[in-house]
Amino acid sequence: MRRLVVTLSALALLGAPGALFAQQADTILVNGKILAVDAAFSTHEALAIRDGRVVAAGRAADVRKLAGPATRTVDLGGRTVIPGLIDSHMHATRAALSFTTEVNWIGAGSLAAALERLRTAARAARPGAWLIVVTPPATLDAFPERRRPTQAELVAAAPDNPVYLQLAYGWAMLTPRALEALKITGDADLPKQNRMERDAAGHPTGVITGNLVELFERLPKPTFDQQVAGTRAFFRELNRLGLTGVVDPGGNNVTPTEYQALFKVWRDGQLTVRVAYSLCGMTDGGEFEEYQNYVALLPQGFGDAMLRFNGIGERITWAMNGISGIPPAEDKEKYYRIVRWAAGRGLTITMHWNGEENVGELLGIFERVNREVPIAPLRWTIAHLNDASPETLRRMKALGVGWTVQDALYNSGDEMVTRGGPGAARLMPPVVTGQKLGVAIGAGTDAHRVSTYNPFTVLQWLLDGRTASGAAIRGDQETPTRADALRFYTVGSAWMSFDEGTRGSLEVGKWADLAVLSADYLTVPVAQIGGIESVLTMVAGRVVYAAGPYGGLGAATH
């Protein structure tokens, strides 16, 4: 019955004489396995698009009745189609700025291949130009060599260039040319939180440890034109992986200036991923004033269907960001004043919070605000929180607070098991429990400094619980179904930006954001899910990525 109803929604357009030409579809996809990801998880043979939205989904014979002389028909050849994936927690704006000026090791497959990428970049660069690699540690953990490169290997790959390799935020290796360019000879030349590693003879190895945010700021920055090019290229790369939307939580060093390249691409009509972005307070102690200045001209939801302001976060205050232990009363009161003000202004917030040990302090503040201003309509969210207890999830549900989960333990699970034993991560993240309790859940990556931006890596991790090294660390109890994992990455993530009514599923009236996959997500072995890509990605029915049999369709820029 559902299939018939969906089809009739479109066929009703044909009721009047002459309606066929007036209401013909712009594009029809046929001969496929189209996963609607609606409430019933319906599957359709065909789908029709008009004016950027889905106008029909059902049997091919019925949907073809919407074809006219100008309709483009795409034969799916039995391929699986999913709603465009939405990453509910990706630092996409920041990642994009340097995407074309850094050397990307994500997906290289081996250390040898990664070093070859560096060698290729060196051949294309002028002597003395910086070569910068910033990649998640899990990138190297997944390589068969299972080790980090040596300084000598970096020098051999790029003998005439300073090379800076950073893993997440705590480990970096610099070649001698890089150390010389930054005038680093010892610890005295480093930010106070950093240390230089030396070998047994006292010679620098090139390795620097500690929080690297300040050191990274010493490196040359891309020009504005390079940032714009990087933004276009990074979003095309996301399109290649079936992504059509991100919820960007801001983050370290993402000031209003860092958004200008994104705004430029949006103004030029070249944005190929929908972005809902947050703004962080940049000044420790001055966050409240900065937020007040931001929202004087940026009300919640300001923007359009491609780019929209989505409140404040992920760091609401410096004092309560990524903390351990119980925060002082003064810090909690300052945090309360800001989020109480945000609630009064109708702002959503997203909060970076790592652990169960003290999340009760955060929820206590939320509950205090909620007694004064209902926060459920504002869709506040907590990111990470891999060890959330059932009681914490119940409190979140009662408040209407959403939860964005990532593949952090794909990256760091081996270390957790080494410290805590084989069962340490058995129930992490507890998405099945959260789902049963009715918590709104979105999936994402936290890319790209600490994690890959590949959504299929996350989907595979959610389903098999294996780390980058291949170790199985999670049990079956908190393993979702394939359908539910896909829900997290589509309509679940759309909820985080108030968009579940317009995207996240392929239903009549919603945006035609979709991806045609290289393999069937529902039937391919779980171990192969991470290798899935899109061969055709559309945003509002517009082709933004096309490959293989669809390469001739091209990718529009407007």
**Sole residue written with tokens 């960007």:** 248
Integer angstrom CA distances of residue 369 from 301, 366, 381, 393, 394 = 21, 5, 14, 18, 17
Per-residue pLDDT tens for 97-114? 999 999 999 889 899 999
| Cβ atoms 124, 158 nearer than 8 A | no
Q: How far apart are CA 99 and CA 93, in angstroms?
A: 10
Q: How far apart are CA 530 and CA 204, in angstroms?
A: 38
| Cβ atoms 394, 434 nearer than 8 A | no
Burial label for 267, CB within 10 Å (0-12, 13-18, 19+), is exposed
Concatenating the DSSP letter of every residue in 397-454 gives: HHHT-EEEE--HHHHHHHHHHHHH-TTTTTT-S-HHHHHHTT--EEE---TTTSS---
pLDDT value of residue 324:
77
Which CATH fold topology does 102-216 show?
A: Diaminopimelate Epimerase; Chain A, domain 1 (3.10.310)
pTM for the model stands at: 0.94
- Of 188, 208, 189, 190, which is closest to residue 198 (Cα–Cα)? 208
Which segments in the chain show pLDDT lower than 70? 1-22, 555-558
CATH architecture of 224-539: Alpha-Beta Barrel (3.20)
Residue 495, SS3?
helix
Q: Say which residues have a Cβ less than 8 Å from residue 39's Cβ, sequence separation at least 6.
A: none
Q: Say which residues have a Cβ less than 8 Å from residue 124's Cβ, sequence separation at least 6.
A: none
Q: How far apart are CA 47 and CA 75, in angstroms?
A: 11
Q: Give residue limits of the domains in the chain.
A: 2-78, 102-216, 224-539
**Whole-number percent of the chain with pLDDT over 70:** 95
pLDDT value of residue 13:
43
E strand or H helix that includes residue 56: strand 53-58
Q: Say which residues have a Cβ less than 8 Å from residue 239's Cβ, sequence separation at least 6.
A: 272, 273, 534, 537, 539, 544, 545, 555
- Of 152, 174, 151, which is closest to residue 163 (Cα–Cα)? 174
State the Cα torsion 334-338-340-342 to the nearest 10°: -170
Per-residue pLDDT tens for 525-544? 999 999 999 999 999 999 99
Q: How far apart are CA 480 and CA 489, in angstroms?
A: 12
| Cβ atoms 308, 497 nearer than 8 A | yes
The CATH homologous superfamily for domain 2-78 is Urease, subunit C, domain 1 (2.30.40.10)
E strand or H helix that includes residue 291: helix 287-297
For the record, the structure tokens of 58 come out as 């059902």
Per-residue pLDDT tens for 420-464? 998 999 999 999 999 999 999 999 999 988 889 999 999 999 999
pLDDT value of residue 19:
42
| Cβ atoms 514, 83 nearer than 8 A | yes
CA angle, 555 then 556 then 558, to 5° = 155
pLDDT value of residue 555:
66
E strand or H helix that includes residue 169: none
Tell me the torsion sign for CA atoms 504, 507, 511, 517. Answer: positive
**CB neighbourhood size of 138 (10 A):** 26
At 302, which amino acid appears?
A: F
Residue 170, SS3?
coil
Q: How far apart are CA 106 and CA 93, in angstroms?
A: 18
Q: How far apart are CA 431 and CA 416, in angstroms?
A: 19
